[in-house]
Structure 1
């Protein structure tokens, strides 16, 4: 018989050996399974039945999806099909529920940014529908609103040929109105009897009209998804219609100008590339262009058209200095032993105007981690691409940035002048066959508009 150790007051003493008997080694959690399928080699139509789990009587939609859609688009289709407003978080899962450990998760942007080991998953925006469903009977789970907990099951019923131009999605059948937002997970007929105005109402035509709205048109046109998300996010704000119209105008405009037309719009860029190709551009000891080159460059760089004062000292010609430094930042020129030389990219761009346009478009598409820079650049590109031979609406862009929550350091709203400091503005305003005078300093040329559209993927 073992003796239980006690202290001087008669209380049981918990020894290290006692503790060990009640402890166990907890290993790191296993990695979530990868349940995805290989992508299809062709595009087909998936006829999918989508049910709200546990709804009685059933609340469901039968939807034809294009198989190559990413899950972020599928999410938007479901929001439209069930009359929700995309006001809450969501996720998809394979192999189980959205919070089951043995399921694979596909996460919304917020969860991607905030994911921990327990919620480890892939971005829904980078996962395609045909990676999750392949054969009739396959199921994909969807959770919307982690409070109300709307759990839906997408079950593949048929794989159909995609004939001709096929929309992202089309609702073909369904029953009953979906529960409204923030009603508290009501799924039975008694609870829902007085919540929707007409619980039995199902409006297929209205849903399909909404599936032809700006979000889906822009995604179909391959517009940069980040811009599409901004259009969607700002849809119900004061400037939502303005941005939506500008973005839709991008899809209707011609994609590019002929190379011969672009040459005249890129004279300032070409002068520097040609000058650097001839043994490099010599710099002063302080690192500036020499006076003779300042004089010549000022004749062709558009923003120098009405610069006040002598045009023979780069240090005193701020627009020219800014333009030259932009060419370096964009990887076309580099400093080496007191000269400006062409980079390898610059060499290709100097010989081929199409290569120059392609490189500029690539660099104009924002890839920085600075969210303000990304959003401001995307908005500027959108309005520029929709505004050939018109003023860039700087005040509107500034108002949208303010609506998105941005402010100056002193708390005041964003102003149009802030947009002028963006590299995207510096490039676009100098892509023109006209001098940039005070009256024309915000005018977007046809060449600049074409370049902006190319930067957005059009």
Structure 2
């Protein structure tokens, strides 16, 4: 098949192959990938060879049908295969994207391969870069190019077949295992495109976001709540009287070491110094379960309420994730949970965090490229919690091999599905 953007000179086009039995909703994802669009606007297909009394048939997205209902000339794009929309070499359909900007594409069937059936879509040819997402349609794009002539920030001639083909591979994988519909993470992904964050979308394809939890539920719940449950129970009633330095007393340090199976390295029971316990208190304060009052660590109303009902602590933790404040903390936290769900190594996690945050427009205060220290600071609250419960574990032998437990991956999937 060959697709070309209408009303653009020189032409912007791609040539790609697809199995004949795919529905138009999957072809939509492939077109977005081969062209380089970000799937941020509505779309529809218009048939040239099929029509009703009202005009050409239109094939539209299921969510549009669910919202507005059918018109007489409309059909669900998930109900029509590409070999039903175009049946012979030379036939074509129009793909319309972003009605306000009037981006229209002509998609032509150039060849039918019968002796070697195509199993997976691929892109292998094309010319020129896709216009920026909101450059204003064909007329606006010409004005955009005139304005870009002096600074060279956008190269209209750039097209790398391997990049488009990789984007198609990711689009196919996401179609087979997409995020949970209407989840916050699905909405988050809509603010990105495969071409702006290919490693992030490759991680989405690996994350199996609709995977089951049954065999891991109890392990997940215990892992996520055990340490916090110990602290909250310890602070019941009158709370925990702190030392003059603001630390927990030595009997609580000793109890934590025994009951939570913590490593004793670095713990001075007499002095009451324990970095692990300090982190636990910090996390509990971030979750607003405890606070300090006149030298005593006490439960907040929320802390008392999550203890009062079975399972409430677990439900609150899942709903509270990610822990970061503001848009930056939430976006960084979702990417972090994605890296955990996908089973990425420390090295891969850093790559995806930097790529994703950069694609979202975040940068350092001086405008330089984000580094490890930057993203870990951006996602600090969530990262501290996940490290504390052992869902994210450093591999001291090889940063390219993940040491995170399977229950941590399942926990991340659950968080991303809400």
TM-score range, shorter chain: 0.5 to 0.7
Query: Offset of 1:341 from its aligned partner?
Result: 2.8
Q: What secondary structure is seen at the aligned counterpart in 1 of 2:190?
A: helix
Tell me what 1:308 maps to.
266
Distance 1:350 1:437, change over 3 A: farther
Tell me if the contact between 1:397 and 1:416 (Cα under 8 Å) persists in the aligned partners.
no
Tell me if the contact between 1:357 and 1:451 (Cα under 8 Å) persists in the aligned partners.
no
Distance 1:279 1:80, change over 3 A: same
User: Counting helix residues as a fraction of each chain, which structure ranks higher?
Assistant: 2
1:146-185 to structure 2, matched below 5 A, reads 155-156=73-74, 172-174=84-86, 175-176=91-92, 178=94
**Unaligned ranges ≥5, structure 2:** 8-21, 45-61, 122-167
Question: Greater relative contact order (Cα 8 A, min sep 6): structure 1 or 2?
Answer: 2
Deviation readout 1:4-59 (Å, 9 max, x if unpaired): xxxxxxxxxxxxxxxxxxxxxxxxxxxxxxxxxxxxxxxxxxxxxxxx999xxxxx
2:68 to 124, 129, 133: 133
Asked if 1:250 corresponds to 2:206, the answer is no
Distance 1:337 1:128, change over 3 A: farther
Tell me what 2:146 maps to.
none
Query: Offset of 1:294 from its aligned partner?
Result: 3.1
TM-score by length of 2: 0.56
1:376 to 332, 339, 346: 332
Tell me what 1:259 maps to.
218
1:445 to 383, 388, 405: 405
Q: What secondary structure is seen at the aligned counterpart in 2 of 1:239?
A: helix
Query: Offset of 1:423 from its aligned partner?
Result: 1.6
Aligned Cα root-mean-square deviation (Å) = 5.2
1:273 to 225, 229, 232: 232
Deviation readout 1:208-234 (Å, 9 max, x if unpaired): 96785415731456652145337x624
Tell me if the contact between 2:392 and 2:408 (Cα under 8 Å) persists in the aligned partners.
no
Tell me what 1:291 maps to.
250
Tell me if the contact between 2:39 and 2:193 (Cα under 8 Å) persists in the aligned partners.
no
Distance 1:413 1:401, change over 3 A: farther
Who wins on radius of gyration, i.e. which is larger? 1
1:29-68 to structure 2, matched below 5 A, reads none
1:200-279 to structure 2, matched below 5 A, reads 201=110, 212-214=172-174, 217-219=177-179, 224-229=185-190, 233-235=193-195, 237=197, 239-240=199-200, 242-247=202-207, 249-252=208-211, 254=213, 257-259=216-218, 262-263=221-222, 266-279=225-238
1:397 to 352, 356, 360: 352
Query: Offset of 1:235 from its aligned partner?
Result: 4.6
1:307-346 to structure 2, matched below 5 A, reads 307-308=265-266, 310-313=268-271, 317-346=274-303
Aligned length: 319
Partners in 2 of 1:308 and 1:292 — Cα distance? Answer: 16
Partners in 2 of 1:457 and 1:325 — Cα distance? Answer: 27
Partners in 2 of 1:259 and 1:134 — Cα distance? Answer: 43
Query: Offset of 1:425 from its aligned partner?
Result: 1.4
Query: Offset of 1:275 from its aligned partner?
Result: 0.4
Distance 1:89 1:370, change over 3 A: closer
Tell me what 2:142 maps to.
none
Asked if 1:387 corresponds to 2:346, the answer is no
Tell me if the contact between 1:256 and 1:454 (Cα under 8 Å) persists in the aligned partners.
no
Tell me if the contact between 2:179 and 2:210 (Cα under 8 Å) persists in the aligned partners.
no
Partners in 2 of 1:440 and 1:64 — Cα distance? Answer: 43
Q: What secondary structure is seen at the aligned counterpart in 2 of 1:331?
A: coil
TM-score by length of 1: 0.52
Tell me if the contact between 1:294 and 1:313 (Cα under 8 Å) persists in the aligned partners.
no
Query: Offset of 1:327 from its aligned partner?
Result: 0.7
Tell me if the contact between 1:361 and 1:455 (Cα under 8 Å) persists in the aligned partners.
yes
